Amino acid sequence: MIVYAETNFVFEQSFLRSEHFQCEELLEMAKTNIIDLVIPAYSLVELYETCIRRKKARVQVTQDLLKEIGELSRSEPYMNLKTQANAALLTLDSCNEEEQNRLNNVVSKLANQTRIISLTEDNVKAAIKFQADLGLSPQDAFVFSSVVSDLKSQAAGPKCFVTQNKKDFANPDVEVILNSHECKLFVKFEPVLRYVKHTLNRS
């Protein structure tokens, strides 16, 4: 059985979000060849771009906070504010390094245990068309074109695409395309895990 995932799958594990246990279980199933877990290469690129933006935003927050604390600590009632704020500033700084390490570890696992869809010339052309036809953002269109391209090369049988991006992907036109390739759409990881287990138990 083929399970297509995208950027959110990596986010859940890298940042230990609410459904990271379900993602880890799907990854373990891929490791033991119970399922074929597939991720577009573009999702990994998008992921690192997002992490860079998060890191820059935190650096800016830290700089702004230090400036404000410096001003406030000039007043007698707030002279100890720098000391009190150190713990929060150190936490912000350590978060960047910890998240980067977890991200690298997860991506390394994915490279070994999943199938990565290359971003081809045909996928790029299809992505441009999906932007116009389906109203997808450029990022989502690149992900979707990669998934659809791979679906076209697969044999008959149950497949699913899981994404937490309900706003853009959960629309009838997207589902029509996926359903034409026997691929169900899910917007959470817990139900897709149940679906995979139920489908495998029936076969």
At 138-158, the pLDDT tens digits run: 999 999 999 999 999 999 999
Which domains does the chain show, CATH number per domain? 2-44+102-202 (3.40.50.1010)
pLDDT, position 114: 94
Q: Tens digit of pLDDT for each residue in 79-130?
A: 777 777 776 777 766 677 777 888 888 888 888 999 999 999 999 999 999 9
CA 85, chain centre distance (Å): 32
Pairing of strands 183-186, 36-40: unpaired
Question: What are the structure tokens assigned to 54, written together?
Answer: 């998060």
DSSP state at residue 10 = H
pLDDT, position 118: 93
118 CB-near residues (< 8 Å, 6+ apart): 41
Do the beta carbons of residue 85 and residue 71 sit within 8 Å?
Answer: no
User: CA-CA distance, 187 to 166, in Å (whole number)?
Assistant: 6
Q: Tens digit of pLDDT for each residue in 158-171?
A: 999 999 998 889 89
